[in-house]
Chain A
Amino acid sequence: MAPVTAGKDRLHGTLDALVLKTLAWGPRHGYAIARWLEETTDEALSVEEGSLYPALYRMERRGWIEAEWGTSELGRRAKFYRLTASGRAQLRREVAEWTQWTAAVSKVLLAS
């Protein structure tokens, strides 16, 4: 398998993977994605809003997610995102890379 690079892309990639995985559970609007990640990780992961939305727009442009305006639980208009087929494929790739990455980093950091 090709080596995974360590750089700013890695950070983007991780956020993308998190969002994609979140949406795998069903369509959500941006706030719901942020709350889901916070809750699922018991507040361990706090998403930076300043990175989340640009990431969502980027992923929409690349066709991994698609957006639709709808009504939120409280009756307000919100923009809902949903995973596309190519998004699912991208998610699988990201998970595979992430596994490879952590394995590599662990080898270094956990070596005695």
Chain B
Amino acid sequence: MPAIARAGRRLRSLIWQESVSEEVEAELDFHVVMRAREYELRGMDPHAARAAAVARFGDLGRVTHECRAIGERREIEMRRSERLAELVHDFGHSLRRLRRSPAFLAGTVLSIGLGMGATVALFSVVRSVLHSPLPVPAAEELLMVTRQSALGATDRLSSGDFLDLQHGSPALRLTAWETRELTLTGQGDPVQLQAARVSPAFFDVLGVRAAIGRVFTEDDGSLPDPGGVLFDHTPRVLLSHALWENRFGGDPAVIGRTMLLDDRPHEIVGIMPRSASFPAGTQLWVPLGFGGAAPADRGGFYLQAFGRLAPGVSVQQAQSEVNRVAERIASAPPPFNEGLRFPLQSLQETLVRELRSALWLLLGLSVLLLLLVCANVTNLLLARAAARQREIAVRTALGAGRGRIVRQLLTESIALTSLGAVVAMVVAWWSLRSLVAIGPPALTHLADSTLDPMALALVPLLALLTGVLVGLAPALQLARSDLPSQLGAGGRGSAGSRNTRRIQDLLVIGQLALAAVLLVGTGLLVRSYERLRAVDPGFHSGNVLVLELALPDRYRTQSEVVAFTDRVLDELRGIPGVSAVGTALRLPLASEGGGMFFAPGRVVEEGAVMSSATFNVVTPGHLALLAIPLRRGRDLGDEDRAGAPMAVVINETLAREHFAGRDPIGEQLVMGPWRSTPATVVGVAADVRQGGLDAEPMGAIYMPAAQVTVFTIRRMHLLVRSSLPPMQLAGAARARVWEVDPNLAFARVSSLDDRLDELTRPTRFALSLVGGFGILGLVLAASGIAGLTAYAVAQRTREVGVRMALGARPRDVLGLMLRQGSRRIVIGLALGIILSLGLTQLASGLLHDVQPTDPLTFAAITLFLAAVSLLATWLPARRAASVDPLVALRE
């Protein structure tokens, strides 16, 4: 056979198909030859004999083809079962080997489990929060209606706005809601429940049905006595699933029964399913009905609204319709509707907007951690692999193919990561629960505390991927090892181990860089948190008890509210240790709530532009109670009663902005709802950070509760300052309030300090997470460096022995190792700094008053990491210096 054909045959025989085909041909050919011989012996000539032999097969080609097909199928089946048996054997073998080094096993399995578990948990959160924050059909059709005008942007509408929109915009099916508290009585202690007043179409628009009973219908929205109110609700109620389980024991017979809310019997018409938690935290829904005064109401912005796009309508069409309604409203008085627009936003988007970047950041962090863990494990495996070079060389010599060896080694690493995966599931479950428990409220409302099924499916995939990732380098290294040098004596210093060292170096550099990024992030957050806490809030919060109340509707007028307040404050003053009491509509630093329109002067013309400021409705002595410094004039006092001229206290910012250069005391202001009655400024208070610790102070107006007659302000915070720790007084305070009205429920009882702490909760949460990651990253990087150095020392014992025999001192050897280790550290840190400079820009939203490139933090972290890394290099290197040259040379 010509050389080329032979070569071609040899090449093709590398592919198994050809070997089966060859065998079949050879076998059948043998048979034909034998049969032909038989015929020849009987006298036929060779040609005829052969032809007759072939003819006995019928169609020889077809038979050959059939046999080959069966043969190939058999080959496939055999290989498959062979591979499977190999795999199972390798897996068991790997587990047995791993058992022999329990420290290594425990360390790697735990660290892999940690990294994988964190990733899986966060992936689950990201999916459930970002992917489907609203478990309703076609959630992308739901649009939130916001309001924009000369007054600013807000997400609240007035009743008039809403009714006009409902009328004039068929492209959207609209519904409105308002949150309020309702007091439940008649079932033990009075309790305040979070309720939502929703227009009847609410659940239809959402696309949610009741789990038991029914949702609201249009009938539920018609008030028995519309009269002159803006809106009210009919006495029917839907319970949330959680409330139903907690208060009614999950009894389905509760439908049709009544419950006393704000002293009105409400009929329970349905129970909502567990997933229906919109608006967030709602325990009850009651049907909103508009009263006679609603269509004309333009000035009070209480309602939030959203709608569903009608079939076939696009967002742009809905937007232009809604803008036409806005134009019509703006063309009529009052003048502050100038430039009115109703921008539509995706409802889902508004729910997740704040969380999105934070969540992706967290997921990125945990992937980073996983990579760090993998780098460590790879390093460990590489070190172990070096010890097995002889074993592998022998195996190769005995006939194991390269592919088989690589498969075997990969099976080992996958066995390792599979064990890690089991740990990961536990870690994921636990960390998910803790995340949801300690996380900011925005997150906890949306995140499901059970693992997303896709996240669970991720676990085996991750185990496989990390197993391959971690095992590939060692496996390839080993499989490539140079056989003769391994089998011979002193197989060391070959190209293989040089490559290994390079990979290990790269891994450690990568680890250092990643750890640097994590620690820089931690450092920045720490500084940010400190800055936040160092901000002077403008008042003194110690030892103040806060009881938050919302009075029920049976307090019909403001004077009734004031009478109640007077009695309660008298009672509270009687508690031993109490030094000052008062009420306030708003707590300092509480940012929710709208503003008040005002203008300096006695009279304001129709059409004049007014400014806005935040306001608070307080009792006399408020400034003293909270230790807010008084700059000029006096605090509000008992003389500012109903009937007396209206007095207000303004803050420094407002005085500066509107009465610059003049003494504001005695000046007059006209405020929105009291256009005809100007108020007189009696004092100027120091600024309090009303909008939160980050926000600049705005102009603020303090009004006496006794003189506010247009509204009935039923929500209030009772403030009690004493010499004792606030919570010790809580029981006594509650009891005194109940003596005045036993059917009142407290929304919350806490100390002012606790409330302030809550404001820094998001930063603290981020800090503890990133800090945790940072510490883990540091530990991993340090142990990686230490391990690598120890390994290098072990590898170079001989070389060290030679050096020392040639006169080097232990100090010199140590210095040598340190110098070589330092190179890695420098490169790793440099890389880490560069990465950090880029990445921290992404997190600048979380930082308060700290630059993402803050030099102090960067410098401190660099020094810290350098110190730790040098220590991690020095400790193992010390052993090199203590080597006995004779021992080393003998090895």
Contact = CB atoms under 8 A, between A and B. Distances in A.
A53 B30 contact: no
A54 B33 contact: no
Nearest to B64: A53
A94 interface: no
Interface stretch (A2-10, A57-65, A102-110): A57-65
Interface stretch (A17-25, A73-81, A83-91): A73-81
A33 to B, nearest CB: 10
Contacts of B57: 49-50
Contacts of A61: 70, 73-74, 77
Interface in B21-39: 23, 26-28, 30-31, 33-35
Contacts of B605: none
Contact of A30 (B31, B56, B73): B31
Contacts of B34: 31, 72
A72 B35 CA distance: 14
B58 A53 contact: no
B74 to A, nearest CB: 4
A42 interface: no
Interface in B43-66: 56-59, 62-63, 66
B28 to A, nearest CB: 7
A57 B68 CA distance: 9
B75 to A, nearest CB: 10
Given A31-B34, A31-B35, A48-B58, A53 B28 contact: yes
B67 A53 contact: yes
B295 interface: no
Nearest to B68: A57
A50 B30 contact: no
B60 to A, nearest CB: 8
A53 B63 CA distance: 8
Given A48-B58, A58-B70, A61-B74, A53 B27 contact: yes
Looking at B27, B62, B66, the one whose CB has the most chain A CB atoms below 10 A away is B27
Given A29-B30, A60-B74, A54 B63 contact: yes
Contacts of A31: 30-31, 34-35
Interface residues of A, number: 19
Contacts of B73: 61
Contact of B27 (A34, A50, A58, A78): A78
Contacts of B30: 29-31, 72, 76-79
A67 to B, nearest CB: 9
B885 interface: no
Nearest to A33: B31
A12 B27 CA distance: 21
A57 B74 contact: yes
A49 B56 contact: yes
Given A31-B34, A31-B35, A48-B58, A54 B66 contact: yes
Given A49-B57, A61-B77, A79-B23, A54 B70 contact: yes
B71 interface: yes
Interface string B3-36: 0000000000000000000010011101101110
Nearest to B53: A49
Nearest to B33: A76
A54 to B, nearest CB: 5
B59 A50 contact: yes
Interface in B62-107: 62-63, 66-67, 70-71, 73-74, 77
B776 to A, nearest CB: 54
Looking at B28, B31, B57, the one whose CB has the most chain A CB atoms below 10 A away is B31
Contacts of A34: 31
A48 B73 CA distance: 24
Given A57-B71, A61-B73, A49 B27 contact: no
Contacts of B28: 53
A9 to B, nearest CB: 17
A8 B343 CA distance: 78
Nearest to B55: A49
Contacts of A53: 27-28, 31, 63, 67
Contacts of A48: 56, 58
A30 B28 CA distance: 9
A31 B36 CA distance: 11
B41 to A, nearest CB: 12
B70 A30 contact: no
A50 B62 CA distance: 9
Contacts of A76: 30, 33
B40 to A, nearest CB: 13
Contacts of A54: 63, 66-67, 70
B67 A57 contact: yes
B545 to A, nearest CB: 85
A50 B59 CA distance: 7
A41 B56 CA distance: 19
Contacts of A69: 23
B67 A77 contact: no
Contacts of B26: 77, 79
Contacts of B59: 50
A31 B30 CA distance: 8
A52 to B, nearest CB: 9
Nearest to A47: B56
B66 A49 contact: no
A49 B63 CA distance: 9
Contacts of B27: 29-30, 53, 78-79
Nearest to B28: A53
Contacts of B74: 57, 60-61
Contacts of A78: 27, 30
A23 to B, nearest CB: 16
B592 to A, nearest CB: 77
Nearest to B34: A31
Contacts of A79: 23, 26-27, 30
Given A49-B56, A50-B63, A57 B70 contact: yes
Nearest to A72: B30
Contacts of A49: 31, 35, 56-58, 63
A29 B34 CA distance: 11
12 contacts: A30-B30, A48-B58, A49-B56, A50-B56, A50-B57, A50-B58, A50-B59, A50-B63, A53-B31, A53-B63, A57-B66, A61-B77
The 10 closest A-B pairs by CB, nearest first: A50-B58, A57-B70, A61-B74, A31-B34, A49-B57, A31-B31, A79-B27, A57-B67, A54-B66, A49-B56
Given A50-B62, A79-B26, 12 more contacts: A30-B30, A31-B31, A34-B31, A48-B58, A49-B56, A49-B63, A50-B63, A53-B63, A54-B63, A57-B66, A69-B23, A77-B30
